Amino acid sequence: MFRKTRLFTPGPTPLLPAAQFAMAAADLHHRTPEFRALFLKVLAQLKTFIGTKNDVIVLACSGTGAMEAAVTNLTSPGDKVLVLSAGKFGERWVALAKTFGCEAVVLTKPYGETFPLDEVKALLTPDVKAVFVQATETSTGVRHDVAGLARLVKGSDALLVVDAITGLGTTTFDVDGDGIDVIIGGSQKALMIPPGLAYLAASEKAWARMETSKQARYYFDLRKERKNAAKGESAYTPSVALIAAMGAALDYLEQQGEGDLAKGRDLLIANAELTAMATRKAAKALGLELFAASPSAAATALKAPAGVSSTDIVKGFKKEFAGVLSDGQGEMKGQIVRIAHIGYLDYLDCVAILAGLEQVVAQLKPGSFQYGDAVRIAQQVYADARNAGVK
């Protein structure tokens, strides 16, 4: 049979064709009026996409580079910081804080769980300089309560730093209203373009901290980037082609929103919410139980049925349909399958994934359901949403 390769992974996500064309056509020098105009446009669009008036910085690195930049620009060695960790990416904050000599107080929760706000509150002593968290922990499919955390941090000296690398475009944030000091995104997630760019928005409180923080930094000096960005430039050679692709992706969202980028972003979030809900409800019919206590719309993590390894589901899906699902990471390998809803994945993709899962799971666990059981549930979720007026 003929098979199309498809990514159903929470990063990299499927590429937007218009962005690929823009990338291929981006043969321009970065110290020219043409590039400055492009970059200034993209920076303004990113502000709208993130939903902030804060200055936005684009860095030529994967998402982790921006996480490192947040630590090196906002802390000093010996600073007490609070790190919330309940998955692979939370552990990355812990490792970064320790690498740069911060005194990390870590609130750890088991994979699949989130952080009770009263426990966070108890650890948020006046000497805490920054709080690091994920908006959505991609390794477990959990959404953390960023607005709730922001309420705790507001009014204190601490900065709230949110890795929203899969949160942006799948979660509604009130960045300025809630007081999120740094929010970080990555190109290969909701923006539908290849890996290689990270972006972040920083509050005035965060910019002020950068003037006194004492970590060594050179390439990732955000103050230097801020000065350059104001002129449509970056301190070093920017990733010109990816910035062109990013511009095309943001234009596409603007078109989806009939000229309103914020509306286009909201449609992207609604799309992720709907397909995530359909996937959660439908997968149950195949014996795949939800892993996350508070599920995100970025990716759904499902427990493999008893006696079945999630690795075999992922491998079977690839072999049968050339479709790429994600296995669990680290200690979760073999236990959970992760299905993405972020970026350029729509309802028809969602139905195709569920139909494919029916085929694969039926071979690993014969007789446990009928073909169409999962798809039928998804169809009902879609119809109910449409009838309720969801756009």
- Tell whether residue 300 is a contact of ligand PLP (CB under 6 A): no
Choice between 64 and 368, CB closer to ligand PLP: 64
Near ligand PLP by CB under 6 A: residue from 13, 45, 48, 166: 166
For residue 201, what are its two tokens?
């928005």
- Tell whether residue 52 is a contact of ligand PLP (CB under 6 A): no
- Tell whether residue 294 is a contact of ligand PLP (CB under 6 A): no
Choice between 89 and 382, CB closer to ligand PLP: 89
Near ligand PLP by CB under 6 A: residue from 45, 48, 52, 138: 138
Near ligand PLP by CB under 6 A: residue from 112, 141, 185, 186: 186
Near ligand PLP by CB under 6 A: residue from 9, 11, 173, 343: 11
Question: Smallest gap, in angstroms, from Cβ of residue 62 to ligand PLP?
Answer: 3
- Tell whether residue 63 is a contact of ligand PLP (CB under 6 A): yes
- Tell whether residue 165 is a contact of ligand PLP (CB under 6 A): yes
Restricted to residues 83-102, the positions that interact with ligand PLP (CB under 6 A) are 89
The type of residue at 169 is G
Binding segment for ligand PLP (CB under 6 A), chosen from 47-55, 116-124, 161-169, 233-241, is 161-169
Closest among 212, 215, 216, 238 to 225, alpha carbons compared: 238
- Is 258 exposed, middle or buried (CB count within 10 Å of its CB: 0-12, 13-18, 19+)? exposed
Residues near ligand PLP (CB under 6 A), total: 12
Question: Smallest gap, in angstroms, from Cβ of residue 18 to ligand PLP?
Answer: 22
Buried-state track 124-156, b at ≥16 Cβ within 10 A, e below 16: beeebbbbbbbbbbbbbbbbbbbeebbebbeee
Q: Where does residue 138 fall: left (phi above 0), alpha (psi -120 to 50 degrees), or beta otherwise? A: alpha
- Tell whether residue 185 is a contact of ligand PLP (CB under 6 A): no
For residue 277, what are its two tokens?
């809900």
- Tell whether residue 356 is a contact of ligand PLP (CB under 6 A): no
Choice between 153 and 164, CB closer to ligand PLP: 164
Point out which residues pair with 299 in neighbouring strands.
Answer: 340
Closest among 55, 104, 101 to 216, alpha carbons compared: 101
Binding segment for ligand PLP (CB under 6 A), chosen from 163-171, 221-229, 247-255, 318-326, is 163-171
Residue 179 contacts residue 160 (beta carbons within 8 Å) = yes
Strands (DSSP E) along the chain, which ranges? 6-7, 55-59, 80-85, 103-108, 128-134, 136-137, 142-143, 159-163, 182-186, 198-202, 289-290, 299-303, 323-324, 326-327, 336-340
Near ligand PLP by CB under 6 A: residue from 163, 178, 181, 349: 163
Which residue, judged by CB position, is nearest to ligand PLP in the bound state?
63
Q: Where does residue 16 fall: left (phi above 0), alpha (psi -120 to 50 degrees), or beta otherwise? A: beta
Near ligand PLP by CB under 6 A: residue from 62, 76, 156, 329: 62
Three-state secondary structure call for residue 309:
coil
Question: Smallest gap, in angstroms, from Cβ of residue 78 to ligand PLP?
Answer: 26
Q: Where on the chain is the footprint of ligand PLP (CB under 6 A)?
A: 11, 62-64, 89, 134, 138, 163, 165-166, 186, 195
